[in-house]
Structure 1
């Protein structure tokens, strides 16, 4: 595993960490034990955090930036598994596995800052407290439900509906009719995350533009008709 530098944790506050489901159910002494293992890790744009098969000793929370989790096919093509945003964690599930090796690779998209936590102390805390385990299990079950909903959207809707749903999810509030979206992620990465080809992604944006639903300016997309997008999502062509 490659780090740029290991630093004492000074940026994130306990309140910031406590908002995450992994830490919300910990007692103050338990949280102090975990926080003592935290390291703030600045990662440069394009730098690998870890590669598939590396020994898994830490899980991570994204403090700033964006992390791409991906796998390589037999042909060497990258498949984006997930885009991890600020406030989200990744690799935490490996704490519960006997063979702790990262199953995917992780790379920074843009300069990013992570907080790395040692898995062993967290695992020890859970072994010592069944009540804490149950609280964490409930929180992780809710997250699993959200991920299953996302899988349903990806598998049951066609490519156009996936792109439309991406635009709708970026709305500042439910039912917003006009708003702007600016991609913080390269289009090819977004396309891979949505399981569509980059050229298909671009074609769908053009199709929505011709329909008068959006206007595209480079990385910025102006949604002109949120209600119209809702209708596309509900009944894609």
Structure 2
């Protein structure tokens, strides 16, 4: 499903060869189907997870049973690692949203490496700070962008930022989930997508979005943002 290797995982750059050897020895690689719950919010954390292929949804449930989506991560990310910095409980639930390959490994292994490896510690801190900046940027978008602009911004994260000609973007998961990820009701998302097509000329055919060039989205979606494309604070989903 993916050519991604453990040593390619950006947040683990700087880890020792001994760590990777142990990880390859004790790590449990599994293929998980859509809908599989990996762990539950406030469950005692024993493992951290490396997403080698697919997509995973991080969320919390509200008092009325609705889901508040924190993020939807693509391959190349880790999740469930932050309990080693906190109270030992998972701060969210994790659910597979597309067929995925996940490696689980003991949190104790990562904690031991962090305690003895300053390079990995600094690299992980850098990634956590960047992730926090990305969340701050999304809060800004919720305030200053309208719904069509937020959809456009998300689409740009799925595109090759160096593309100069026609662009084809494949939506990674269904539109209902995409709407929830962007904090919209499905009907709001549908209206906003129609407005985005009207304003930018993008073409949507099922899960495929086509546009003549990225400037169509950049000129429309970035006009009210304090950053410029490609946004340094928001991780590309490409």
Common fold: TM-score over 0.5:
yes
Listed as ranges, the matches of 1:17-28 within 5 Å are: 17-28=6-17
TM-score (norm 2): 0.82
**Structure 2 alignment gaps of length 5 or more:** 225-238
Contact 2:47-2:106 within 8 A present in 1 as well: yes
**Structure 1 alignment gaps of length 5 or more:** 1-10
Separation in 2, partners of 1:150, 1:211:
22
178, 182, 185: which one aligns with 1:194:
182
Counterpart secondary structure, 2:98: coil
Contact 1:63-1:114 within 8 A present in 2 as well: yes
1:44 equivalenced with 2:33 (yes/no):
yes
Contact 1:208-1:214 within 8 A present in 2 as well: yes
Displaced runs of 4 or more, over 6 A: none
1:215 equivalenced with 2:209 (yes/no):
no
Residue number in structure 2 paired with 1:34: 23
Map Cα deviations across residues 173-217 of structure 1 (whole Å, 9 max, x no partner): 336453122212111111111112211111111112234511121
Map Cα deviations across residues 145-185 of structure 1 (whole Å, 9 max, x no partner): 34433443344322221111112222223364531222121
TM-score (norm 1): 0.83
Map Cα deviations across residues 4-47 of structure 1 (whole Å, 9 max, x no partner): xxxxxxx999x822222332112222332333321102211211
Residue number in structure 2 paired with 1:6: none
1:96 equivalenced with 2:85 (yes/no):
yes
Contact 2:82-2:90 within 8 A present in 1 as well: no
Structure with the greater alpha carbon radius of gyration: 1
Q: CA deviation at 1:143?
A: 4.1
Residue number in structure 2 paired with 1:178: 166
Counterpart secondary structure, 1:53: coil
Cα RMSD for the two superposed structures:
2.5
- Per mean C-alpha deviation after superposition, the further-off stretch among 47-56 and 132-141 is 132-141
